[in-house]
Chains A and B, each alone.
Chain A
Amino acid sequence: MTIQEKEKELIAVFETFDDWLDKYNYIIEMGKDLNRIDPKYKTKQNLISGCQSNVWLHAEYRDGKIYFSADSDAVITKGIIHLLTDVLSGHTPDEILSANLDFIDKIGLKEHLSPTRSNGLVSMIKQIKLYALAFKTKYEQKQQDQ
């Protein structure tokens, strides 16, 4: 599935919810389910500090695709991280770099990406894009060298 297809699927899921309560219950369940990051990656280096909650993000590059794992100390943040990493994991740096992630807005979670929320998510998305850019540069460099 492409990033866009995954986004569409999520939007469809959220359209079935009647109110914010259902929506947050779903996010909280996702948060509780999230496969935590391997403890060895829960390092200071991978920590994205927010004023309200912290996020740890790890990225791996395999066969041209990037895989993310992440964690947070707050369960709602963790639920949203789950959505984001699900959508973006397993894609190429180019695909990740061009993703505009407007599904967050469409499923009514835009407030969580406002800088004032300061829950680490805005910085996390920036960090995801930075990883994509770094892997892309490294990969292209390697190809040129060969």
Chain B
Amino acid sequence: MTKDKINTIDIQEIRNDFPILSQKVYNKPLVYLDNAATTQKPSVVIDRLRSYYERENSNIHRGVHFLSDQATAAHEAARKMIAGFIHAASPAEIVFTRGTTESVNLVAGSFGKKFIGKGDEVLVTQMEHHSNIVPWQMMCEERGAVLRVVPLHPGGELDTDAFENMLNEKTRLVALAHVSNVLGTINPVKALVAKAHDAGAKVLIDGAQAVAHLRVDVADLDCDFYCFSGHKVYSPMGIGVLYGKEEILEQLPPWQGGGEMIKQVSFEKTTYNELPFKFEAGTPNVAGVLGLEAGLNYLQSKGLDEIVEYEDALLTYAAEKLQTIKGIRFFGEAKNKTAVISFLPEGIHPFDVGTIVDKYGVAIRTGHMCAQPLTTFYGVPGFVRLSLAMYNTKDEIDKFTGALAAAIEMLS
């Protein structure tokens, strides 16, 4: 077998950067193929958290002392780096949240309050994660608005004709995934944003599954909001990003109240801080922000284009291997897809598959994957999903398909 490489970097070298990957489970080498749930963290990220707490920890934006100055500078430098990473026009457009879910909730809460009224419409798609459905559902219910669902083609691609037809003068906002967490479909986001804008609607993109696998350029996409989580891109849990166009964020009311987000407080009237601080109530997750910066730097240092190329080749390899196993039904056969394969062996429940392959040291995801409307769409109890990251190898795919074949044999 030829060596797995990204550009000229041996994958084994990359694997050595991730301490957890050398671990054994049930006395077998860990084969971690649940990266769409969360990615593992390289040492540089873990070390960054440690060094922050060992040498820099202090509360930011409010101290007059040395440490607070340092931490504030590091925090804001990270914001600048992250703005650059997704091509935002300014760091003021980067709001830190706990993750994609909180980013969506922030927009649903704040944008909803300001711009959505009775009879207005919000569009989501059939392939959305619950995090990009439920916040809109709650907001629509509260404001008497209507949530409409764009259908899919059976192969797992969005029905773009239906999308266009559903846009109308009542559409206030479109919320859709950049990449589907179940199907791996890469939606033609740029074209959809343009269509939505023509209809006068704003667009929020859930980029949770995209950031580790695609080059994200919010200026090029021209989306109004873009959300992602650190933990799905080699960075810590509990830190996420909401990108919003400055002129829109300016118009939105604060979402949560507290420290940090204010300019002046009195019992008569409180005035709010400027962007992005207006949306960051309370002490921020400084270590998380610095960890996210370290994770994104790590990703860039390996070369995003090269990673994409490597993961695509690995995805093709995995799909070919899986096709040699009889009786497997695949979900998500979009021409443009990334990093994820969902499937079901005929007549076998996904939970049973997951339980058996786990015993072989293989970590995959089974179940509805927080996308129950998709299980309904396909009429199945759930899926089995393998999802890739830059550190996965062909050898791991072989171990997985071996374990899968054994599981099917046992369960048939």
A residues with a Cβ closer than 8 A to B are 20-21, 24-25, 28, 51-54, 73-77, 118-119
Contacts and interface: CB of A to CB of B under 8 A. Distances in A.
Contacts of A24: 355-356, 359, 410
Contact of B351 (A25, A28, A53): A53
Interface residues of B, number: 17
A119 B351 contact: yes
B351 A74 contact: yes
A73 B410 contact: no
Contact of A76 (B352, B368, B382): B352
B411 interface: yes
Interface in B353-401: 354-356, 359, 366-368, 381-382
In the A-B complex, the 6 residue pairs with the smallest Cβ-Cβ separation, listed nearest first, are A74-B349, A74-B351, A52-B351, A53-B351, A52-B367, A76-B352
A87 to B, nearest CB: 21
Given A24-B356, A51-B368, A77 B351 contact: yes
B411 A28 contact: yes
5 contacts: A24-B355, A24-B356, A28-B352, A53-B381, A75-B349
B359 A20 contact: yes
A73 B375 CA distance: 15
Interface string B170-183: 00000000000000
A51 B411 CA distance: 20
Nearest to A19: B359
A131 to B, nearest CB: 24
Given A28-B411, A53-B351, A73 B359 contact: no
A20 B356 CA distance: 10
Interface string B339-356: 000000000111110111
Contacts of B349: 53, 73-75
Nearest to A32: B411
Given A52-B351, A75-B349, A77-B351, A28 B410 contact: yes
A75 B411 contact: yes
Nearest to B358: A111
A51 B368 CA distance: 7
A51 B355 CA distance: 14
Given A25-B410, A75-B349, A76-B352, A51 B359 contact: no
A74 B352 contact: yes
A57 to B, nearest CB: 17
Given A73-B381, A74-B349, A77-B351, A52 B366 contact: yes
Contact of A75 (B352, B359, B368): B352
A105 to B, nearest CB: 17
B374 to A, nearest CB: 15
A21 B381 CA distance: 25
Given A75-B349, A75-B352, A75-B411, A52 B382 contact: yes
A74 B347 CA distance: 10
Contacts of B367: 51-52, 118
A21 B355 CA distance: 12
Interface in B301-356: 348-352, 354-356
Contacts of A21: 359, 410
A13 B86 CA distance: 59
Contacts of B351: 52-53, 74, 76-77, 119
Contacts of A53: 349, 351, 381
A53 to B, nearest CB: 4
Contacts of A75: 348-349, 352, 411
Contacts of B382: 52
Nearest to B370: A51
